[in-house]
Structure 1
Amino acid sequence: MTAAIAKWGNSLAVRIPQAIAEQVQIQAGSEISIEIIDGKIVLTPHRRKKYTLDELLDGMTSEHIHAEISTGVSVGNEAW
Structure 2
Amino acid sequence: MRIKIQKWGNSLALRIPKAFAFQSKIREDEYVNLTLEENKIVIEPVEGKIYSLKELVSEINKSNIHSEIDFGKQVGTEHW
Q: Under TM normalisation by the shorter chain, which class is it?
A: 0.5 to 0.7
Give percent identity, aligned residues only.
Answer: 35
Instruction: State the alpha-carbon separation in 2 of the partners of residues 13 and 31 from structure 1.
Output: 15
CA deviation after TM superposition for structure 1 residue 43, in Å = 0.9
| In structure 1, C-alpha distance between the alignment counterparts of 2:24 and 2:79, rounded to whole Å | 40
Aligned to 1:57: 54
2:18 & 2:71 partners in 1: Cα distance?
Answer: 48
Displacement after TM superposition at 1:50 (Å)? 2.2
Runs of 4+ displaced beyond 4 Å: none
- Tell me by how many angstroms 1:44 deviates: 1.2
Residue equivalent to 1:71: 70
SS of residue matched to 2:21: helix
Aligned residue pairs total: 74
TM (normalized to structure 1)? 0.68
Structure 1 residues without counterparts, runs of 5 or longer? none
Measured after TM superposition, the shift of residue 73 of structure 1 is 5.6
Structure 2: gaps (5+ residues): none
